[in-house]
Amino acid sequence: MSEDAEFEPKEPGSVLYRASRQNYPHAVSASGMYIHDGEGRSYLDMSGGAAVTCLGHSHPDVIAALQQQIQSLTFAHTSFFTNAPQEQLAIRLTRHFGDDEAKVYFLSGGSEANETAFKLAWQYWVARGKPAKKIIISREHSYHGNTLGALSASGNTGRRRASAAPLLEWPRIEPCYAYREQRPDETLEDYSARAANTLQAAIDKHGSDQIAAFIAEPVVGSSLGVVPAAPGYFERIREICTANDILLIADEIMCGTGRTGHFFAHRHFNVRPDIVTLAKGIGGGYQPLAAVVLGATVANELENSGFAHGHTYVGHAVACAAGVAVLDVIEQDGLLARTRDLGVVLDSALRERFGLHEFVGDIRCKGLFAGVELVSDRESKSGFSDRPRLAEELRRAAMEEGLICYPGSVALDGEIVPHVLLAPPMIATASDIEDGVERLAGAIDRVFAVRSC
């Protein structure tokens, strides 16, 4: 075909899609809570894709801010210049973090942000004269990204295996997952201390002089289906990290930027991490944007020694302008308080609809971040050994219902345990949420009707 030949769509297209042998509808427009496809179908976006579109689609304020930015400056390489959007956004994030001496480094996506966090940790320890501190401890059933370092730190066995990558085998501890791991003779507080103390055991085994950092999501997102840490867990983790000279990295790529009702999810616990990573919601899907917030301890050390790192699009002016605009809307429209209020609506709608559902084992909600865990038997909490693709079936059934939600699954003791993650935009109304929960019930019914046929 000559270069100027007219573009003719073909089926299947020339894109290497996420899943082969699947026909994706073409998304052609989107507004508010809905995405519209080329066949005239509309989908209620109850998960913001993967917890991305925190302000819904086509928010006029963000679009106006982007248009203005594009007209004045799109790109000036940050080896040569800084720019107003990244300066403004950095100051505002450090205010939310509550540390005037904190610094912020901007990237284009979550995996890059976690890679950067690891590199910060390594360079911090070199600057402190402890170059042997290289190991990153993480947790099982976690996801920190798809690049080599971030996937090495991820405990998501499915993604690790599928990548076929030569990953580093860093140690991982069990997650804090009370629904499955709390013993009947144990209080929640005792369980939470037991779960946190496994970090100390891992440190004792590998030696604190070899360990750079511990990374965890304050509220686990896609790997387990919204699992907030039990009370006291992160406080004990913080104590252990401090006592052993290990940096605490909070991966808030999914649960941060207001998703749980506080700007930073770690605020639900009485801790301050050394480094926090943000992505997804911070650009709201309007631009690819991620941020690494480094608290005073790391920031001051690296101010002196410098930070050897960089990607072409670090601190991109348009991406950071999207971040500023998203933050403006969150602050001006009181969306953190709204998220807390609507979280109560979401929690009760889910409990009302699924509280007694035969195949629903647990419902977990923190602000507008919710997980519904599916089981084949509520008593034994068993998963579905005979239906390994149940999460995919659910995703398709939801789309049939005109619903975007985010199903996933975890392999536990040889069984597949699926869950559905919901992360509705903070601009949702109570009736959008009720509508979404009804559509989800329709999707779950479809999937289990097939089973009983």
Q: Which residues bind ligand PLP (CB under 6 A)?
A: 50, 109-111, 114, 143-145, 217, 221-222, 251, 253-254, 279
**Are the CB atoms for 411 and 427 separated by under 8 Å?**
no
Of 83 and 114, CB closest to ligand PLP? 114
CA distance 37 to 40: 6
Output the six-digit token pair for 88. 């403004």
Output the six-digit token pair for 187. 């209080």
Of 50 and 329, CB closest to ligand PLP? 50
Of 217 and 393, CB closest to ligand PLP? 217
Of 138 and 182, CB closest to ligand PLP? 138
Which residue number is nearest to ligand PLP in terms of Cβ?
110
Q: In angstroms, what is the minimal distance from the CB of 263 to ligand PLP? A: 16
Taking Cα atoms as reference points, which of 442, 451, 444 lies closest to residue 385? 451
What are the φ/ψ torsions at residue 361 (nearest 5 degrees)?
Answer: -90, -40
Of 253 and 426, CB closest to ligand PLP? 253
Q: In angstroms, what is the minimal distance from the CB of 423 to ligand PLP? A: 10
Query: End-to-end alpha-carbon separation of the chain, Å?
Result: 49
Q: In angstroms, what is the minimal distance from the CB of 385 to ligand PLP? A: 26
Q: In angstroms, what is the minimal distance from the CB of 351 to ligand PLP? A: 25
Q: In angstroms, what is the minimal distance from the CB of 97 to ligand PLP? A: 18
CA distance 228 to 209: 30
Q: Tell me which H or E stretch contains 442.
A: helix 430-452
Of 251 and 274, CB closest to ligand PLP? 251
**Dihedral (Cα; 35, 38, 41, 43), 10-degree rounding:** -20
Q: In angstroms, what is the minimal distance from the CB of 151 to ligand PLP? A: 9
The 3-state DSSP class for residue 156 equals coil
Of 89 and 254, CB closest to ligand PLP? 254
Q: In angstroms, what is the minimal distance from the CB of 71 to ligand PLP? A: 28
**Are the CB atoms for 105 and 291 separated by under 8 Å?**
yes
**Are the CB atoms for 364 and 228 separated by under 8 Å?**
yes
The 3-state DSSP class for residue 280 equals helix
